[in-house]
């Protein structure tokens, strides 16, 4: 196992002068050099062959003891220079000051055989100066969720950080899962995440908040040179073009989330990637019954700041914070405001309309058709994923029989005559629109099935895999990765994984504890 490392982040940006691995404020620096904590009994749970391939690793490499040692943090390969980065952020709308990689340690930047740059990052590998009196560790439960969801999102076509491997450490980690005073020991684990960059909005915010404009400029110049080199040499114009691109990518990201029914759960500015990736899988969740107000995060259940329907607005707010951070480099805040409107608000609206039309197999977005559908979906508990797949199955060219849709409802008692009339009316309007667009039924069905997944990481499926893994059985994690690898295919042998959430898991909410 040999990588070609080119650690530009630490080679071009200033380092923390102190070598002390204690929790503290780190000034005048972008990162601190740290060593991952040694663990007693590393044991591989799973790896992603697709991510391995990005790094030019084959199965033999991934199944080796060396791999297990390296990606649990026990062994540092030549060329690896472990470091944690400094960032800040707004958490739930409030400025939270310095946050940083509290339990993430970057091992280095790999240049693969295609000359692509991939950063390797261990999550849960122990304390760093940014750990804020926490342990820097992660438990199996949250690591399974991060591993599976990163890969599921990628296969769904949603931009995301990737996961190379999930390794048990052999250590026990104390966690109060529901924040109710009942702490217990859980198995510790480390995920190796992989992305072209892990830079977040909060990286810019921390230097701006400290009025360290020199470092802010250096950091932005470095970001442009490494991750946005197509924009040209850093200058005020390039900064503006860069901000426009971040807006654009963020808009596309959120449109994808709304398409597949993903709720991030903690859209704090430190969890927003500048390249528009889904990052930091914590208390995320997948919509089962369609509900715009739903959030999986118990920590946010009072204010519901990060609920499903609010994600587009929150992304705008977060981008506005990023704009505030770079104002000192631009001086004209109005320019940034205009870019935000054009490259986020307008472009989100355009992409969202296109996406919603595609979910129905239509070319043209019809606002009232879509908004009436939203009302319909929420008037009785309707499984969003199943609804769109079943809708593709209905023959819309003759007399409409909506029987396939009844499978999407959680409570059949609600399907009263009034609801059925409304549904019928909506389907008739939909049929009329389809007729206008003169699309064949087979074409409509196959188009819809390329944007409406059959398989998503339903919250209870992840939980079942976690429970089995905590008892030493990893087969369900492997099966889920297989299922989620081709989420738009029918695959009858896996149909169990496309079923509605069973009654016994009705109120599955998650806290931030991980
Ligand atoms: P999150 O809400 O997961 O995005 O985390 C917010 C901040 O808390 C980040 O700076 C994390 O690195 C840090 N953090 C979360 N969990 C831990 C932990 N167990 N140990 C140290 N730092 C943590
Ligand atoms: Mg985070």
Whether the CB of 131 sits within 6 Å of ligand 1: yes
The residues annotated with a catalytic role in the active site are: 270
Report the separation in Å between the CA atom of 161 and the middle of ligand 2, taken as the mean of its atom positions: 13
Q: What is the pLDDT of residues 73-90, one digit of tens each?
A: 999 999 999 999 999 999
Q: What is the pLDDT of residues 144-163, one digit of tens each?
A: 999 999 999 999 999 999 99
Q: What are phi and psi of 380, to 5 degrees?
A: -145, 150
Query: What is the number of other CB atoms lying within 10 angstroms of the CB of residue 241?
Result: 18
Q: Do residues 295 and 301 make contact, with C-beta atoms less than 8 angstroms apart?
A: yes
Whether the CB of 395 sits within 6 Å of ligand 1: no
Angle between helices 441-451 and 384-393 (to 10 degrees): 160
Residue burial 251-286, b: 16+ Cβ < 10 Å; e: rest: bbbbbbbbbbbbbbbbbbbbbbbbbbbbbbbbbbbb
Instruction: Give the N- to C-terminal CA distance of the chain in Å, as an integer.
Output: 31
Does position 436 have pLDDT exceeding 90, yes or no?
yes
Question: Nearest-CA neighbor of 236 among 322, 328, 318?
Answer: 328
Average pLDDT of the residues in 264-273? 98
| Residue whose token pair is 């709720």 | 263
- DSSP summary character for residue 84: E
- Give nearest CA residue, ligand 1 atom 18: 136
Report the separation in Å between the CA atom of 173 and the middle of ligand 1, taken as the mean of its atom positions: 15
Whether the CB of 99 sits within 6 Å of ligand 1: yes
Whether the CB of 453 sits within 6 Å of ligand 1: no
Q: Do residues 14 and 30 make contact, with C-beta atoms less than 8 angstroms apart?
A: yes
pLDDT of res. 503: 82
Q: What is the pLDDT of residues 228-258, one digit of tens each?
A: 999 999 999 999 999 999 999 999 999 999 9
**Helix, strand or coil, per DSSP, at residue 31:** strand
The pick from 21, 102, 206 for probing ligand 1's pocket by mutation, whose C-beta has the most ligand atoms within 8 angstroms, reads: 102
Whether the CB of 97 sits within 6 Å of ligand 1: no
For 12-20, the CB contacts below 8 A with 24+ separation are 12/222, 12/225, 13/218, 13/219, 13/222, 14/215, 14/218, 15/83, 16/86, 16/129, 18/129, 20/129
| Residue whose token pair is 């399907």 | 415
Whether the CB of 102 sits within 6 Å of ligand 1: yes
Report the separation in Å between the CA atom of 101 and the middle of ligand 1, taken as the mean of its atom positions: 7
- Give nearest CA residue, ligand 1 atom 11: 102
Report the separation in Å between the CA atom of 337 and the middle of ligand 2, taken as the mean of its atom positions: 26
Whether the CB of 92 sits within 6 Å of ligand 1: no
Report the separation in Å between the CA atom of 439 and the middle of ligand 2, taken as the mean of its atom positions: 45
Calpha distance 158→137 (Å, rounded): 27
CA separation, residue 231 to residues 218, 323, 325, 365 (Å): 16, 18, 20, 33
**pLDDT mean across residues, the chain:** 95
- DSSP summary character for residue 341: I
**Helix, strand or coil, per DSSP, at residue 220:** helix
**Residue 362 tokens, joined:** 């239509």
Calpha distance 70→68 (Å, rounded): 6
In SS3 terms, 127-185 reads as: CCCCCCCCCCEEEHHHHHHHHHHHHHHHHHCCCECEEEEEEEEEEEEEECCCCCCCCEE
The pick from 103, 124, 201 for probing ligand 1's pocket by mutation, whose C-beta has the most ligand atoms within 8 angstroms, reads: 103
Average pLDDT of the residues in 504-509? 62
Q: How confident is the model at residue 181 (pLDDT cuts 50, 70, 90)?
A: confident
Does position 13 have pLDDT exceeding 90, yes or no?
yes
């Amino acid at each position: 196992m040999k990588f070609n490392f080119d650690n530009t982040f630490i080679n071009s940006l200033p380092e923390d002068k102190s070598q002390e691995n204690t929790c503290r404020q780190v000034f005048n620096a972008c990162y601190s050099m740290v060593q991952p904590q040694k663990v007693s009994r590393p044991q591989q749970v799973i790896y992603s062959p697709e991510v391995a391939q990005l790094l030019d690793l084959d199965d033999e490499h991934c199944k080796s003891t060396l791999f297990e040692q390296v990606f649990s943090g026990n062994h540092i390969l030549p060329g690896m220079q472990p470091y944690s980065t400094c960032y800040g952020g707004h958490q739930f709308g409030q400025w939270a000051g310095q946050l940083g990689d509290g339990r993430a340690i970057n091992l280095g930047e790999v240049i693969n055989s295609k000359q692509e740059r991939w950063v390797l990052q261990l999550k849960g590998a122990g304390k760093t100066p940014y750990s804020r009196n926490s342990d820097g560790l992660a438990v199996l439960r949250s690591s399974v969720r991060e591993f599976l969801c990163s890969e599921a999102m990628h296969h769904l076509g949603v931009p995301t950080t990737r996961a190379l491997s999930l390794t048990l450490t052999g250590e026990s980690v104390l966690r109060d899962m529901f924040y109710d005073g009942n702490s217990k020991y859980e198995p510790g684990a480390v995920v190796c995440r992989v992305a072209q960059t892990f830079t977040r909005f909060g990286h810019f915010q921390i230097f701006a908040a400290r009025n360290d404009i020199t470092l802010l400029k250096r950091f932005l110049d470095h970001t442009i040179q490494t991750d946005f080199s197509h924009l040209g040499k850093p200058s005020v114009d390039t900064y503006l073009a860069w901000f426009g691109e971040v807006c654009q990518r963020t808009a596309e990201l959120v449109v994808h989330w709304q398409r597949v029914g993903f709720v991030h759960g903690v859209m704090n500015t430190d969890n927003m990637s500048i390249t528009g990736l889904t990052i930091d899988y914590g208390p995320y969740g997948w919509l089962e019954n369609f509900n715009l107000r739903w959030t999986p995060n118990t920590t946010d259940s009072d204010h519901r700041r990060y609920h499903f329907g609010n994600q587009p607005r929150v992304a705008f707010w977060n981008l506005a914070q990023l704009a505030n951070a770079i104002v000192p480099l631009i001086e004209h805040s109005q320019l940034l405001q205009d870019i935000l409107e054009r490259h986020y608000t307008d472009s989100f609206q355009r992409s969202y309309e296109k996406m919603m039309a595609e979910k129905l197999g239509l070319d043209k977005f019809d606002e009232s058709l879509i908004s009436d559908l939203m009302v319909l979906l929420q008037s009785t508990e309707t499984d969003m994923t199943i609804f769109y797949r079943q809708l593709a199955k209905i023959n819309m060219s003759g007399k409409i029989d909506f029987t396939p849709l009844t499978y999407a409802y959680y409570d059949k008692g609600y399907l009263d005559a009034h609801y059925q009339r409304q549904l019928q009316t909506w389907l008739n309007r939909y049929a009329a629109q389809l007729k206008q667009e003169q699309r064949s039924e087979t074409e409509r069905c196959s188009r819809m099935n390329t944007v409406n997944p059959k398989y998503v990481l339903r919250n209870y499926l992840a939980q079942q895999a976690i429970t089995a893994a905590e008892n030493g059985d990893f087969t369900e994690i492997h099966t889920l990765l297989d299922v989620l690898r081709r989420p738009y295919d029918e695959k009858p042998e896996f149909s169990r994984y496309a079923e509605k959430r069973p009654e016994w898991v009705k109120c599955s909410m998650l806290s931030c504890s991980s």
